[in-house]
Chains A and B, each alone.
Chain A
């Protein structure tokens, strides 16, 4: 029973981390219809920014997190405004350009910090006991931040005027522009929020996992899984799917064996695509009519 509970809590915290990873990715697709292959790179850049501020400059971890968020958001803003925006209607082109950005980001971190993983402690240490289960403080913080970020994105999209404008632009850009909405302001902003979330995730999660130029690949993969499983463009779908992925990984890892977990997940997703191609909560629109 203790093992089950430990696995359960482990799976849920993992799921919360995954949800945070997938959130920005899902947002970029939901609003801009851009599959951001640079999402993992932004995560890594966020991690390194926080690491640099904390370990090399010597400022508090909180400041490192803030710099990571602002820095990645600023890069995302500029990237959208000057590059993505020019080919926003061409899905393949945006994929290729974000791939390019991902290569550039990875290369930059590689030349600045080297290929080896760096020792990044983060701010919170220590654990506490919950009914016989040990939970690190940092993980609790991640769960709290993930919950707040999800709530904030939800409120932004569905309860504010900016959110309405963004969703209108997604539905029918031409019409929304005719009604006076300004994609040149709103889209870079939305993309900046998405990349800022990636940076935030990097700053918070890399102390838990590891920080090296190539770790973004894993984040990208988790994001893919979450959006395919949850349905492309569905924010609640991505969150639920992330938690599901975390739970499956934890339980299969405990009861079956480590390397089977991803295989079961990936194969499960391929099977899901046969049965229900639109994902768990997605719309039918992803299928060609």
Chain B
């Protein structure tokens, strides 16, 4: 095993480009540019065009930032106009009735929409992505309708006019350079908020955007971070409304047309997921609108075409294209003398280590004493009329390993899904250390100490291995010690690939990383869904070690697997499932010679044949269940 390789040496350069942390550097840069724009442009030019153009760009930018923030948690929002309306009308009401102090106005226009977003988020964020998009559209209509009907306080469809401009001391931010400066400051507040949120919770957001089920199974509460994003996005949109109404001097429902959200979505998508995206998108949009001021159809046409082209060919938007171009450039410059070494990285002699694994590991004894950690009682799941799992019961103690086998469609994965919280059982009970947890969400299950792996590889594939681990650590309540993590990394061979992008790893290593993440949360119960599926034989030995590693540390392991050799090696106890029911339960020797089990796997019913087969075959043959034969045999018998 390669013990000497020091982490963080390989390919840091390449992965650094993709790391989200770089945004930290971008923010001060944008700030400087904007401050410079705000303070010098009007003085130098006093250009009437720029005096109206800069606030317009900033309004679109903040509104797009609303969309952008929610896109970071994989939600598409059309709610920029309604929150802008809230901000705008708050400005109008406060400035007309209370005070026109700029600081008070900024705080009010940020806080009121954000506070309103809390109850709204409670309702809307329960909805799945596409539904959320539709409902935010409806919300936009509702807010306009409310404004129209509220003729008394909000002026109805004729709007409110004569709103005093924001002031600070003797300065009035009404027109000219003052207006631009005020708009820039408000925009900076909004961008500062968006930047803070997207940096502080960058791991949570990135994980939600990329692989929400995995994040939840590691303990992240998706709803919570979506709510954070929604609240801050509402505040940012409120500030956009502030700039808009302060610039116009009157508030009118037409300024917050629900369809204007399409422009904000467009700017955000065309700009791309980089923090600079909304700024670039807003600039392009405002420029288009300005150029085609008298022929709106052309800017609309170009925008539509751009939306489709960007979605098809530049998923990371224009800023993504710039980053890619920059990467190509640096590669072209640095090419002489530095061949790409990553592709030909020498691999350690894995074969040797794994053969040793086979010979040194002995099967653990079945655990019969100690406290029951996980107790599953008559668990069932029905899909329509089909019972995928039908009254399965089992118990696991500390350090226990239970293998669950059965033909495809026996309900093994459904069983894991119910215990891990991914599916709500139709009946039965799951008890963890005496506490009933039936039907809890995946993140609650994770918090209770139930961790799972997935049948297909499930990692944060655009992040490095190191970042995958950091995310898991950030989401989970429990975590291994540094020494234990080093040990796990060595055992999986991932220690040499810490700075590689997870999605670029070979399949086997991705699968092992998918195992390592739940393992590193030091679970009380570890559910493994076919950990060996898709692995090379030489890599399968690592599974033995990982399971052993967890069991020694007191985890109760439930292992679903088709590889009979592996199951016989490490499981002292087997549960065989067929068509959702328990078929047999006991030691591998007893279970695998059980006639019912052999029938389920091979579809043989005749007693004589059974005896022959039990004598003849190696149990490993059972690894290939003969799908269909079972049914055919039944028909023949009937």
Q: A227-B134, A277-B127 are in contact. Are A263 and B311 (CB under 8 A)?
A: no
Q: Is A262 an interface residue (CB 8 A)?
A: yes
> Assuming A87-B312, A99-B307, A286-B128, is B300 touching A35 (CB within 8 A)?
no
Chain B min CB distance to A5 (Å):
28
Tell yes or no: B621 within 8 A of A by CB: no
Chain A nearest Cβ from B419, distance in angstroms: 14
A residues 80-107 touching B (CB-CB < 8 Å): 83, 86-87, 91-93, 95-97, 99-107
> Shortest CB–CB separation between residue B361 and chain A, in angstroms?
37
Known contacts A96-B307, A263-B142; A111 and B131 CB within 8 A of each other: no
Tell which of A107, A224, A289 touches B424, judged by Cβ atoms closer than 8 Å: A289
A 220-231 to B, binary, CB cutoff 8 A, 1 in contact else 0: 010011011000
A288-B222 in contact given A232-B131, A263-B145 (Cβ < 8 Å): yes
Judge whether B138 and A228 touch: CB under 8 Å. yes
Interface size on B, residues (CB 8 A): 50
User: When the two chains form their complex, are residues A103 and B142 in contact, meaning their CB atoms are under 8 A apart?
Assistant: no
Q: Which applies to chain B's interface (DSSP): helix, strand, loop or mixed? A: helix
- Chain B residue nearest to A217 in the complex (CB): B259
Stretch with Cβ within 8 A of B (4 or more), from A162-170, A172-180, A193-201, A267-275: A267-275
Q: Is B386 part of the binding interface, using a Cβ–Cβ cutoff of 8 Å? A: no
Chain A residues with Cβ below 8 Å from B137 are 221, 224
Instruction: Give 1 or 0 for each of B303-317: 1 = CB within 8 Å of chain A CB.
Output: 111111001100100
Residue A108, interface by CB 8 Å: yes
Q: How far is the CA of A286 from the CA of B129 in the complex (A)?
A: 9
**A57 proximal to B (CB < 8 A):** no
Q: Is B36 an interface residue (CB 8 A)?
A: no
Task: Assess A100 versus B307: contact at CB under 8 Å? Given A269-B138, A289-B422.
Answer: yes
Q: Would you give the shortest CB distance from A266 to chain B, in whole angstroms?
A: 4
Contact B311–A103 (Cβ < 8 Å)? no
Residues A263 and B128 in contact, CB atoms below 8 Å apart: no
Chain A residues whose C-beta falls within 8 Å of the C-beta of B301 in the assembled complex: 103-104, 107-108, 111
Min CB gap A262→B, angstroms: 6
| Chain A interface residue count, Cβ-Cβ cutoff 8 angstroms | 46
8 Å CB contacts to A: which residues of B594-638?
Answer: none
User: Which of B76, B138, B311 touches A266 (beta carbons < 8 Å)?
Assistant: B138
Known A-B contacts A107-B300, A286-B128; A228 and B135 likewise in contact (beta carbons under 8 Å): yes
**Given A92-B129, A108-B301, 6 more pairs with CB closer than 8 A:** A33-B130, A97-B311, A99-B304, A100-B307, A217-B259, A232-B131
Residues of A participating in the B interface, judged by any CB pair closer than 8 Å:
29, 33, 35, 83, 86-87, 91-93, 95-97, 99-108, 110-111, 217, 221, 224-225, 227-228, 232, 259-260, 262-263, 266-267, 269-270, 273-274, 277, 286-289
A-B contact list, 25 entries, CB within 8 Å = A35-B130, A95-B133, A96-B265, A99-B307, A100-B266, A100-B303, A100-B306, A102-B304, A103-B266, A104-B300, A104-B304, A104-B308, A107-B300, A108-B297, A224-B137, A224-B138, A232-B130, A232-B131, A259-B148, A263-B145, A263-B149, A266-B138, A266-B142, A270-B135, A273-B127
